[in-house]
Amino acid sequence: MTLPLQGRTAIVTGAGRGLGRAEALELARLGAAVVVNDLGQPGRDGTGTSSARPAEEVAAEIRATGGTALAHSGDVADFRQAAELVGLAVREFGGLDVLVNSAGILRDRMVFSMTEDEWDAVIRVHLKGHFNTTRFAAAHWRERAKAGGGATYGRIVNTSSEAFLAGSAGQPNYAAAKGGIIGLTTSTAHALAKYGVTANAICPRARTRMTADVFPGAADPGDGLDPLAPEHVAPLVGYLASPAAGRVNGQVLVVHGGMVAVVERPRVRARFDSKQDTFTYGELDAVLTPHFAERADGEGFAAVEVLGLRRE
């Protein structure tokens, strides 16, 4: 039986641990040759455990099960190193078919306490990191499509978060970066559709090293697979990377614990037209104040209800 990603090449960023690792293993299981990217360096990883070259470890894990994998330890938030990552896939495997952007960090703090460095670091790794790899992968696919005289094959799976959808109060930097990733994803989906490339975003919920403070405490192994295990997320990434998902483009999906939810796009709730050439303060007061007086306290653009999604 031919595997769904047989003959395809994938890049997974931030794949040395957690979600990225599970995603890289899943893509390899589905037949892809995988370039495993992670910035890990010899020494300590910040959690008190040794962490020498995590990308190499995951690549070796894939090869040990009969798969094909290479490691890349560059920083995807660096424009040049992101170009080198895409170039490595093209040079070693003859092309690139799938890009999974999973690299990220957290620097949680309330907006009134956040430092400039905490803001910049998160925006750099998440949002700029997603852009950098997307930019070079997109250029590769555009050139390949033009050389072939028609559509090519390309899949981008970006990682957003429920923190953006729900407006996480203690994560203004993270929520902003993840919101930006949604904008990047939909723009990319529209720009690359004519070349045969899709771009989608997932909002995963998983217990990883990065979210240890967000989801503390491990599940009891006797209860089966942890509902917050990264392994719940990886199959959706594998599907979005596959030929079967050719008509899935510009979508946002929440995934965790055996559940996938497709998020609806924003819709206009109400519309008000001025009775003159333009609104005056008084006219806006007359139409908007009663409208919002009828809304429940705290109800706004944020979709807090997504935090209550569970497998039924």
- Mind telling me the catalytic residues? 161, 174, 178
Q: Which of 212, 211, 208, 190 is nearest to 199 (CA)?
A: 190
Q: Which of 86, 46, 65, 61 is nearest to 209 (CA)?
A: 46
203, 177 Cβ separation under 8 angstroms? no
234, 255 Cβ separation under 8 angstroms? no
- SS3 for 238? helix
Q: In what order do the strands lie in the sheet with 33-37?
A: 69-72, 33-37, 9-12, 98-100, 154-159, 197-204, 252-256, 259-262
**CA–CA separation, 107 and 109 (whole Å):** 7
